[in-house]
Structure 1
Amino acid sequence: MTLSRGDFDAFFQALHHGQKPFTWQRRLLDAVLDGGWPDAIVAPTGSGKTAAIDVHVFALAAAAATGRPLPPRRLAMIVGRRVLVDDQYRHALSIAARLADPGGSPILAEVADVLWQVQADRGSPAPGDSGFPLLVARLRGGLPPSRRWTDHPTAAAVLCATPEMWGSRLLFRGYGSSPRAWPREAGLLAVDTVALVDEAHLARQLVRTARRVGELAPVAERKWDGPPVLQVVETTATPDDTTDKRLGVEDDDLADSATLEARLRRPKPVTLAPSKEWATTLVPGKSGETRKPRGRVAEELARHTVGLLAASDGRTVGCFVNTVDRAVAVTAALQDRTITGRDVTVVMVCGQVRPIDIELLEQRYPGLLTPQGNPDVDVIVSTQSLEVGVDLDLAGMVTELASGSALAQRAGRVNRLGQRETGPIVVIVPDGTIRPGARSGPYGHDELAAALEWIQGRAHDTRGVAPWALRENPAPAAGPRRTLLQRPELGQVWHWARTSDDLAAEPELDLWLSDDLTPESAVGIAVRRDLPEDVNEAAELITFLPPRSHEVFAVPLRTARDALAGARTRAGEDGRQGALPAVLVRGDDIGPLDWTDTDTGSRPRLRPGDIVVLDATTPLFTGSGSGDHRTPPVLAPDGEVPRYSAEDVLEATADLGRDLRPGEVVHRIDLDQTPSLAQLLAPTEDDPDTDPLDEREIIRDWLDNHGEGKMAHAAAALLRHGGRTVDVIIQRDAEDVPVRAFVIDGRRAVADEYVRQEWTPNPNPVLLDHHQKAVADRVDVIARQVGLPDELTAALREAALHHDDGKADPRFQIRLGARGPQPWAKSQHLDTPEKVRHRRDRSGLPPYWRHEQRSVVDAWPAIPTDLDRDLVARLVGTTHGHGRSWFPHTSNDLLGPHDGPQAREAAEMLFDEGGWDELIERTQLRYGAWVCAYLEALLRAADGQISAEGK
């Protein structure tokens, strides 16, 4: 078949169990194919805005199949709710999975085939390559960031992100990423990407900054003639007057679809329940002091929820609250109640819950977070995490008073499919006026007062908060939380682009990204059993096993600081000051968590995107109640409350009742608990250096005979069949006694750019010349596929032929453990830090020596005169994210004792006399900061692909 826009209905139906797209979704496809994405999508909740992902995928395939100009390859779905990010991520993953395995569907097979042609960058499959023609990534606080999308810049991709995680990457300062990754991510987000910002009226500064990036990215001496620069789309039910091209739901669309009409017009009547102690956070008391309300509101919420449940048709009802503290209290209150003689079954879902705990919930209650629901669950208790976009279909809802937009979004989870005649809603409100200074969770007095007036009006309308009724009387918009919005200029951009420099002051990105200059960005907390008390030893252990996304609690930055400071104080009160081993993971940098002494005690030094790893015995969390995962642990609220430890879930993915995905197999063996294995791994006087192959066989045989549990069996199977993609690491103490053994699925490692620089899964040596030729061939394919002009393609190819020239330095060959007359590109062993340090010390290289800095020196005289020499040199020097614009060494330390005058002359000019800094500035003037970063990202992607393939 030949793919065309007329096949969209069949594509949509194949993905959505026969459901046809709405008329407005077809119009969106037409707009994307004919002239590009609109400036705004105006659609109420329940009208299917998430289908923008489906439109993106099909539009890219249809354009490629019919020879039209391609729309942007990458779609960024940006929304300020972590649970919604996860929901959109799951939707995109489901599309990717269907395309990878069409299951007999001709239309899905055709779309997948075209998307493979669009990507066109695959050589030999890399170990663990999932083989998806659509790449999906998730970028949100509290989780290790996805990286695979940066390795395939030609691929169709969907990025699901929170505003701060996406925006910080766009501005060369990705939260949770290493500085080496910052330019790569910035370039790919500023070029060949379209960003959909949901609830854009709550993210005005982000929209302004992103649109300004689209204006500034092509500003340079030379006209940009490559893929389109960043496009920004607002998605909102309440547009302003600043957008030119709008598209959305119209009255005629409802007439065309009874389904859409039912979703948007079925009434959702509102009942108000006045309460004296309605506020969740702080309310003014006598003489101006503040006090926390008592727990009576939790009981009132539980009472109204059970009343609503009794009147429902047996479907699940929801209870929305404004803070995690209140969610915990209401869940406990509901668990003490009964209905028709049985206990109420209640589950709690909020943004702080670990992904593994959500998966366990969904395993216990299939369909829980889908429109189908689960008949065994009576109540879902949630914070604002489930307000937006999550495809629930609740029978009714009880909610605390929140902002008007939050109430409208929460109501959108009720009777979402329009299959019931009505969807009742109960709102807990004050029994009088709201006192100045009152707060309820994240909502302040002005928002709450406006929302109260509005919801009182909706309570008198029989339609209540039905989405179509809110077109006439929309929820009050949030008031501006800052006086002025900022517009970035080129001066700021050049400052941000200095990603390698130790700046006097790091940029304050909130000024450019946030509508609220006191935002609550997230950090992650993970727990591991038997974490060494010596924090340096603990950091080394985490270096072997960095946190996995499924085991991380996503916690607001301020909450995490307070909780960690409290845990450290309590450790001191117990006579264990300093006995709080805490390891900080910041991108690829892992080390002890630093603390700052203040007047109120020690405070941890954290920034958004960080992950802190603690020992699993640390009492920091709520209890898990019945132990059946219905009330998963979260960070315990502030105050005098019971605190419990949380379970180490690193290996819990084996208990999910599904096949383990590439990279998920990880098994730890404590050798002090297994003396027989420790003895087999101990060095002997006859053979002090145990061969790595022998270690693998020893552990495999031991697991076959003594391993217990699903993960141990999975590790044994991987050792039998996984080849060199399985890492076996033995951690030894100062006396070389083995203390721990790890079996790790190495398919995760080949997805790590910084491991691939010096390691290969190929059992044979990878020769330097062969590697550089393979990278040059691959970057040529990538550049032509994205439509770069010939002169830029030639520059990228030339840079690829020289990007690792510096590895030929004899000292670096010693560091790689190379043997033989021809220089190697990669080491054959993924070694422990001790072995790496030993080879590094033997090499004689100075600390922080970078092979790409040396590569610039060797490449400089070889660059053809018909190419832009500055650009080629820049691409060589920034191959791994260094050199923007600083390198650590002058010519004396960079060069070896046997280097000749030509190398010394080039090194002195570039790195002693300021030539490199001037080169970086010239290329940014010539091409623009983001275009330079984009070109660097293409070369780094080619290098990463070839390395992952073992070439």
Structure 2
Amino acid sequence: MRTGEQRRDAGRVRFEDFFSAVTGNTPFDWQRRLADQVTQNDPARVSWPDLIELPTSAGKTSIQLIAAYALAVHPNAHRRIVYVIDRRTVADDAYETAHILRERLRRGDPALAPFAASLRYNVGLKSTEPLLETHLLRGGLGEPLARLRSPIAPTILVGTVDQLGSRLLFRGYGVSERMRPVAAGLLAYDTLWIVDEAHLSPAFLDTLRAVRASVLASPLPHDRPLHLIEMTATPRKRAGRTVFALGRPDDRIAQRISCSKPALIRDPIQTRDLVAAFAALVEEALGSKSFRRLGVIVNRVGLAREIFDALRKGGSKDSADYLLFIGPIRPYDRKLLYERSAAVSLKAQSHERRAHPVVAICTQTIEVGADIDFDALFVQAAPLDALRQRFGRHNRLGSSNGTLAIIVPELLEKVEPIYGDATQRTIRWLCSVAQRASSGQKVDFGIAAMDDVVGRLSPQELEALCSSGPLGEPLHVQHARNLARSTSPCIDEPDVSIFLHGEPARADVQLVWRELPKDYDIGRLSEEVKDDLSAAPPCAGEMLSIPVYAARSFLEGEKADVADVPAELESTRQGRRHGVKAIRWSPDKDQIAAVEPDQIRPGDTLVLPLSAGGSDEFGWSPDRMDSVSDLSLAAYFAKNGDRVRAARMRVLVAFDPEDGRTVTERVDDALTNKCESGDGLLEREIARVLMQVPKDQRTIQLIQAAGGNEHAWVTWRESVRDDEDPNADASSFTVRVGLTDHLEHVAARALDLAQRCGLLKELCEKLSLAGLLHDLGKADVRFQTVLRGGDLIGALRAEGQTENLLAKGLRRFAGGVQRSVAVPMSERWFPGMRHEAISVAMAGVQDPLVRHLIGSHHGFGRPTFPTIEDAAPRTVRARINGVAYEASSDHHLNASGWDEQFAALLDDYGIWGLAYLEAILRLADHRCSREEESGSVLGLPERDGGNSCSLSSTV
């Protein structure tokens, strides 16, 4: 219940104070106006515009903070904020805003106390619930464990079109098949989508509009359906949409807009060799001694690398510090790169003085969002919108005099593969509006000056000068219905890339370099290799994202260039003696396997040996044959500090039950001894972190389970959820929890979440009833036997005694000892047998939604279950709250009209509405499991009083 004290605390937040506390700066005038418009125009709903038009360098990424502020002060603001920017590297920069806010809130920053109190009150968060969750989802996979944990938690997600769009369309890259409906449902409701540089993603915008239309037409009532905001510095068509523009800029922005940025257009005839041309321009500028921060921006990663190498090998190598900024780079490498003093000196407001000038060779990765300011800029010809973005990194604050800028076009014999004809049309148009000067043709790329010239173009003329992705195929209702079939895809299912990019799959894969055993054999992966990769799964900081085609070419020993915008470039033979072998990583250890190049799929995470080459301190370098560094520990520690998930170290631990020490103490001593033996820095660092592992019950059980005098993996990670483990029953084997307790816990939690999501009372009751009945099928003696570590006799004794039935248990008892007698075949629970299908049969409810929620709570039943024949069916019985339930385990749900029921529910609740309801129940179940494992079942309302719903199996 919200108290008067909470309300008083919540009323003291001002946008200016909040913004300054997070950023250290006062907000611009447009930021204040937008915050006021969103939160004050209409008390019934937030008043977001459809389109936000802001020039580069105006601070567009701060819209995340405005959305978070709205969530704290407006009762109907969206709980989930999705910020899409289709640049792999820039997504990292954009995420920094959200990350800083989350960390300041987590630490209880006093300056944010009024905001925190207001957010907790307005959203209705309990004291045990985090104030803000954030996730960065970039490239083809993102964080392997990144997921939405709660339907009511304030959340900011930052990522690419591939990552976020695929999740919305039930095909999340890197998301297990069974967790896809959860992500899709949550991202379609109570979610604000902000698409930055929206003009670059027309196909995805059309898809978002189609999903929004479907949600609005859905029979499922909701106050906060998906809302879409397009944000751009290059406005296009505006008819019929509400627009928020910069307006009259304050002094800080006015100087940036009004300053002049004259650029010389070089004669294409002078450019026979792009590498030589750019190198000569840089060397000439360095020779003048007039410029301290020089930038080259080109269209291809390979070209940037060639110019970079040429300059470092050239005569001016000692006269400047050289940097390379490209999109494909491991985030941890990128962090180190941007922390270099040379990189810091490129920031717009940097006051650092260096002995040598800094020269940065860049691709499109710095066009959006990068706080970089060059006083001399040389850019490869590109469409008008790309050029304007590039000039946003030149004299960024409008405070420099004596700057230099040159546009370098080239004579093309065929259509340019990245931008098509738009580049040539742009150069011709620029020459037509340029002024003659002694050095050639000049055009002013200052924001105000270019706005004036562009304003004379018709919408059609402007469109022809700008880059634009393919429009793609409209997302029709039948497409969406087919995609919703997550457990049995249709044969003719469309490639979701058509709806994301307007063309077939170009989704990235992730490359990870790891130190593998010397005797590692790609043809026959050892258990040691699989154990290594399973115990220490790849994390985002060590992943390098490249397109699928480029990864295939690299593994085949060929070279394929890449761009930091969607494009597929040609491959050329590298001259390697042989290709590179890769391992496809999977959360399921049994699925970790070697792959051939033609077997690579979008979203794959590929593990390569360090000797494969392909990367250096600046990122992707397919020509590089030198060994690559293993970043697995550094990247993980950088992100998680002492919150260890897993570490890779084999230790010999002698477990002596007579020595009187705890298991954890024995492990600590063994690790300390190994450190003192001088086995190397790496082992000492791992040991240091392992000795800080929490001394909790789950850790001790895990170490005990290793048992004996054997080499053992010592790991700790968050509770295994079924979105991480393809075995849907994995979450049942944690700690002992009674079946009745778990069912009542989930029923109460589902009711609580549904009510806080604002659902109608009838839907709240159905979700709670589904929670009460969802695990009835675990009463099967065979499942109870597994929960008791193979103790069939104990399971038989519990049959019919509801108070002794388990919802969760342990496959083996402490010490790894298998209990009781060998279990006969007829009494074994086989993989693929679904307890939730038995639950549906036992529940006996007629309501289709309740039946579906019970059957789909592990992600199956959309619309089919695994077809595993029950060779020894039996009657399963349980009594919950005085009500008896029983049914045959031979349920035959797949042949009982389940498919037809699923189709009807899509009509009744909407394609994304049904997934949203499933998400509420499944996340309630997940949260209960976490609380039960940790022994902290907190914050639940009483089901038999207040506003709780009466539960009955007659719905």
Q: With the length of structure 1 as denominator, give the TM-score of the two structures.
A: 0.81
For residues 166-205 of structure 1, the aligned pairs below 5 Å read 166-205=164-203
**Deviation of the 1:519 alpha carbon:** 6.0
1:617 alignment partner, SS class: helix
Residue 268 of structure 1: aligned partner: 261
Distance 1:714 1:121 in 2: 37
Which range moves more in the overlay, 742-751 or 421-430?
A: 742-751
Report if the CA contact (8 A) 1:269-1:459 is conserved.
no
**1:410 counterpart = 2:397:** no
For residues 349 and 700 of structure 2, the distance between their equivalents in structure 1, rounded to whole angstroms, comes to 42
- The structure 1 residue matched to 2:110, chosen from 104, 108, 123, is 104
Asked if 1 retains the 8 angstrom alpha-carbon contact of 2:89 and 2:365, the reply is: yes
Q: Is the 8 A contact 1:121 1:782 kept in 2?
A: no
Q: Deviations over 1:348-401 (max 9, x none)?
A: 221111011012223443746754456557122221111112222333322212
- Please give the alpha-carbon distance, in whole angstroms, between the structure 2 residues aligned to 1:758 and 1:612: 27
Q: Tell me which residue corresponds to 2:242.
A: 246
Question: Superposition pairs for residues 387-402 of structure 1, below 5 Å?
Answer: 387-402=367-382
Which of 582, 588, 603 does residue 597 from structure 2 map onto? 603
Q: What CA distance in whole angstroms lies between the structure 1 residues aligned with 2:740 and 2:876? A: 21
1:449 match:
424
Deviates more, 1:315-324 or 1:714-723: 714-723
Once the two structures are superposed, the pairs formed by residues 323-362 of structure 1 within 5 Å of their partners are 323-337=300-314, 342-362=318-338
**Alignment partner of 1:85 out of 76, 80, 91:** 91
Preserved contact between residue 495 and residue 504 of structure 2 (Cα < 8 Å): no
1:228 to 224, 233, 254: 224
The one-letter code sitting in structure 2 at the alignment partner of 1:495 is N
Q: Using CA pairs under 8 Å that are at least 6 residues apart, name the structure with larger relative contact order, 1 or 2.
A: 1
Partner of 1:545 in structure 2? 536
Aligned to 2:611: 617
Measured in 1, the distance between the counterparts of 2:590 and 2:270 equals 45
2:399 to 397, 406, 419: 419
**Cα pair distance change 1:850/1:144, threshold 3 Å:** farther
The alpha-carbon distance between structure 1 residues 491 and 727, as it changes in their structure 2 partners (threshold 3 A), is farther
1:285 aligns with: none
1:583 counterpart letter in structure 2? I
Q: How does 1:712-727 map to 2 (within 5 A)?
A: 712-713=684-685, 715-724=687-696, 726=699
Alignment of 1:635-650 (within 5 A): 635-636=621-622, 641-650=623-632
**Could you say what secondary structure the match of 2:585 adopts?**
strand
| Counterpart position of 1:879 | 857
* 1:524–1:554 contact (8 Å) kept in structure 2: yes
For residues 611-760 of structure 1, the aligned pairs below 5 Å read 611-618=605-612, 620-622=613-615, 624=616, 629=617, 632-636=618-622, 641-653=623-635, 660-661=640-641, 663-664=643-644, 666-669=646-649, 671=650, 677-678=651-652, 680=653, 696-697=667-668, 699-703=670-674, 705-706=676-677, 708-709=680-681, 712-713=684-685, 715-724=687-696, 726=699, 741-747=712-718, 749=720, 754=725
Q: Is 1:522–2:517 an aligned residue pair?
A: no
Cα RMSD (Å) = 4.2
Please report how far the alpha carbon of residue 23 of structure 1 lies from its aligned counterpart in structure 2 after TM superposition: 2.9
- Flag the 1:211–1:17 CA change in 2: closer, same or farther, 3 A: same
1:462 and 1:331, CA in 2 relative to 1: closer, same or farther beyond 3 A?
A: closer
Alignment length, in residue pairs? 868
Distance (whole Å) between structure 2 residues aligned to residue 571 and residue 702 of structure 1? 51
Within 2, Cα distance between the matches of 1:375 and 1:42?
35
The 1:248–1:457 alpha-carbon spacing in structure 2 relative to 1, beyond 3 Å, is farther
Which amino acid in structure 2 is aligned with residue 350 of structure 1? I
Per-residue deviation at 1:424? 3.2
Equivalent position of 2:836 in the other structure = 852
CA contact (8 A) 1:76 1:159 kept: yes
Match of 2:766 in 1: 795
- 2:767 is equivalent to residue 776 of structure 1: no
Does the CA-based 8 Å contact 2:720-2:730 persist in structure 1? no
Higher mean C-alpha displacement, 789-798 vs 483-492: 483-492
CA gap of 1:754–1:119, structure 2 versus 1, over 3 A, is: farther
Q: Partner of 2:546: helix, strand, or coil?
A: strand
Aligned to 2:275: 298
Query: Unaligned stretches of 5+ in structure 2?
Result: 1-7, 436-440, 455-461, 560-570, 799-803, 879-883, 936-955
| CA deviation map 1:581-634 (0-9, x unaligned) | 532236768635575xxxxxx63322322111122222x415x4xxxx4xx342
The amino acid of 1:27's aligned partner reads L
TM-score normalised by L of structure 2: 0.81
Letter in structure 2 aligned against 1:241: K
Name which of 502, 506, 510 aligns with 2:497. Answer: 510
In the alignment, what sits opposite 2:17? 10
2:832 and 2:734 map into 1 onto residues whose CA distance is: 28
AA partner of residue 120 (structure 2): W
Distance change >3 Å, CA 27–CA 935, structure 1 → 2: same
Aligned to 2:947: none
The CA distance in 2 between the partners of 1:728 and 1:368, in whole Å, is: 51
What's the secondary structure of 2:806's corresponding residue?
coil
- Give the letter for the 1:153 counterpart: P
Choose 804-813 or 789-798, whichever is displaced more: 804-813
> How many angstroms does 1:798 deviate by?
1.3
The 3-state SS of whatever aligns with 2:491 is coil
Over the matched positions of the two proteins, sequence identity in percent amounts to 26
SS in 1 for 2:583: strand
Alignment partners' CA distance in 2, 1:816 and 1:810: 10
How big is each residue's C-alpha offset from its partner over 1:787-838, in whole Å with a ceiling of 9 and x where there is no partner? 1111111111111122222233232233334576523333458999x999x9
Q: CA deviation at 1:263?
A: 1.6
Give the 3 Å change call, closer, same or farther, for CA 804–751 of structure 1 in structure 2.
closer
Contact 1:458 1:465 in 2 (8 A): no
Question: What's the secondary structure of 2:830's corresponding residue?
Answer: coil
| Matched letter for residue 374 of structure 2 | L
Q: Please state whether the residue corresponding to 2:770 is helix, strand or coil.
A: helix
Determine which of 26, 29, 41 is the counterpart of 1:22: 29
- Mapped to 1, the partners of 2:430 and 2:812 lie a distance apart of 61
Decide which moves more: 934-943 or 838-847.
838-847
